[in-house]
Amino acid sequence: MTVKEIIKKLKEKEISSAELVEHYLGRIKEADGEIKSYLSLNEEARKEALSADEKLSARGDSPLFGIPYAVKDNILAKDLPATAGSRMLENYTAAYESTVVKNLRGEGSIILGKTNMDEFAMGSSTENSAFGPTKNPVDTARVPGGSSGGSAAAVAAGLAPWALGSDTGGSIRQPAAFCGVVGFKPTYGAVSRHGLIAMASSLDQIGPLTRTVEDAKIVFPYLLGRDKMDATSLEIEEQGNIKNPKNLKIGIVKEFLGEGLDERIKNKTMEALDVYKSLGAEVKEISLPRASYGLAVYYIIMPSEVSSNLARYDGIRYGKHIAEDFTGDLLDGYIEVRGAGLGKETKRRIMLGTHTLSSGYYDAYYLKAQKVRSMIAEDFAEAFKEVDVIVSPTTPGLPFKFGEKTDNPISMYLSDVYTVSANLVGLPAISIPVGTVSEDGKDLPVGLQLMSPHKKDYELLDIAGLYEKEVS
């Protein structure tokens, strides 16, 4: 069921909130033993649904009233666990509410549970979760993508109508593409990061995973808003006018169609563009000459910020702690706890960032990367003078099999080669499903990525919606 269908059914009293929650908990019981998209369930969900049914008169004009959803486990919901997929936070319960969950609670939404993810959102397959991987519902021999793999799998398998994820370099869009759902990363700052367990603060952004673009547009306004708890948050104004597709200029990125791209994905990308052409849109090839450096920039800036953000896991303040009978001093304790509580990929990135920020290397790596980041922003600014929206494949390859890329970090990192630029520049970007490719007897989903200028989030949703309306 889509969010839109659920709203209609609730309004027409075809279904109650309690029945809805029961339906999803039933689906989870039935299917999640294999898929493993949830790390924990909200014990209070049934009670909250009953109370929503009793208070229907309080619904007012809130469309999300009484509708359940899932939350990635790095977003805090008071009194529920928040592990961020790490042993370090295995026993941590959120002491306060993230702004985005607070907003949704205010709208009467109900959390079904917290979803699995790569540890501290570091990864592209959910294989880095300390609690075991999530499987792709389309083909359980394959990864769901990551790091929001649990949220994407839950939505794809019908274990939640929609879910929250977070995206630092493609962590909403890439799993959405792999699982055949819609994944939307808003403009940097559109959704408050207060209560999001930080990975790389200049890149992190919360966004929704939904079954349709239409659903993304329904939930998006309720995630937004300036928040005094997050000084980087900003207002996004509704543009609210669907562009006439006849005046629409779409740019396809030349540099993202070359080496490393699966030919079958390239074909699907072109077929999707044909749909826009048939609506009367103009499609032209554009060049982002320095966007191909995006991944290298990302793999300097992100670990640098990670090394700083993850310094808070010291074995004292929360999560895994130094044992009471530990005989070493405080420093020994830090080293002991972090060594035992953090996984390989997390350690790799912390050390990488510590190195790139260290005296003597800062200029060569970090400063250089920030300068190239400026150049990439310039490329986008130039391109947006000519086109309204920039399009590329979401991923260079199809969902891969478990273990296929775990021994080679660079090949895993390449999964995000088309998605990282939107984070570096802060642009809104969405991945929408554009058909499937047959492999090993399974129809594997393919995603198309669309990017718009800063704060044009609503326009981006409208443009993505044009394709959806046309093909459905």
Partner 1 sequence: MEKLTKGEVKKVAELSRLNIEEKELEYYAEELSSVLEYARQLDELDTSSVEPMTQAVNLQTVLRDDIQEESNTNIRARAVEVLMRAVPFKHNGFAKVKSVFKDRN
Q: Helices 294-309 and 344-356: crossing angle, nearest 10°?
A: 100
Cα(332)–Cα(319) distance, integer angstroms: 17
Cα(396)–Cα(268) distance, integer angstroms: 12
Q: Which is nearer to partner 1, 413 or 458 (CB)?
A: 413
Q: Which is nearer to partner 1, 159 or 200 (CB)?
A: 200
Cα(345)–Cα(465) distance, integer angstroms: 37
Q: 34 Cβ partners below 8 Å, 6+ apart?
A: 135, 140
Under rule CB under 8 A, which residues in 130-189 are in contact with partner 1?
A: 187-189
Q: Considering the rule CB under 8 A, would residue 308 count as an interface residue with partner 1?
A: no
Q: Considering the rule CB under 8 A, would residue 225 count as an interface residue with partner 1?
A: no
Q: Which is nearer to partner 1, 103 or 187 (CB)?
A: 187
Do 423 and 284 contact (CB within 8 A), yes or no?
no
Q: Considering the rule CB under 8 A, would residue 82 count as an interface residue with partner 1?
A: no
Q: Is residue 438 within a helix (H) or strand (E), and if so which, with residue range? A: strand 429-439
Please pick, from the candidates 29, 54, 95, 267, the single residue that binds partner 1 as defined by CB under 8 A. 95
Q: Is the alpha carbon torsion for 430, 5, 442, 266 positive or negative?
A: negative
Q: Which is nearer to partner 1, 334 or 402 (CB)?
A: 334
Do 33 and 146 contact (CB within 8 A), yes or no?
no
Please pick, from the candidates 31, 279, 296, 437, the single residue that binds partner 1 as defined by CB under 8 A. 296
CB of 376 to partner 1, least distance (A): 8
For 362-394, give one letter per residue: b (16+ CB within 10 A) or e: eeebbeebeebbeebbebbeebbeebbbbbbbb
Stretch that binds partner 1, among 113-121, 157-165, 173-181, 419-427 (CB under 8 A): 419-427
Stretch that binds partner 1, among 56-64, 136-144, 148-156, 227-235 (CB under 8 A): 227-235
Under rule CB under 8 A, which residues in 337-396 are in contact with partner 1?
A: 338-340, 342, 347-348, 350-352, 354-356, 358, 365, 367-375, 377
Q: Considering the rule CB under 8 A, would residue 232 count as an interface residue with partner 1?
A: yes
Q: How many distinct helices (H) and strands (E) make up the chain?
A: 15, 11
Q: Which is nearer to partner 1, 279 or 372 (CB)?
A: 372
Which residues are marked as active site? 72, 147, 171
Cα(24)–Cα(269) distance, integer angstroms: 33
Please pick, from the candidates 24, 120, 220, 293, the single residue that binds partner 1 as defined by CB under 8 A. 293
Beta strand segments in 197-268, E = 205-210, 249-253
Size of the residue set binding partner 1 (CB under 8 A): 70
Please pick, from the candidates 93, 140, 239, 436, the single residue that binds partner 1 as defined by CB under 8 A. 93
Q: Considering the rule CB under 8 A, would residue 268 count as an interface residue with partner 1?
A: no
Cα(204)–Cα(210) distance, integer angstroms: 19
Q: Which is nearer to partner 1, 92 or 402 (CB)?
A: 92
Please pick, from the candidates 12, 61, 228, 263, the single residue that binds partner 1 as defined by CB under 8 A. 228
Q: Which is nearer to partner 1, 263 or 407 (CB)?
A: 407
What are the residues facing 164 on neighbouring strands? 71, 208
Q: Considering the rule CB under 8 A, would residue 287 count as an interface residue with partner 1?
A: no
The encoded tokens of residue 465 equal: 């919606």
CB of 434 to partner 1, least distance (A): 27
* Site residues for partner 1 per CB under 8 A: 92-93, 95-96, 187-189, 202-203, 228, 231-232, 234, 290, 293, 295-297, 299-300, 307, 311, 314, 316-318, 321-322, 324, 326, 328-331, 333-336, 338-340, 342, 347-348, 350-352, 354-356, 358, 365, 367-375, 377, 409-410, 413, 423-426, 454
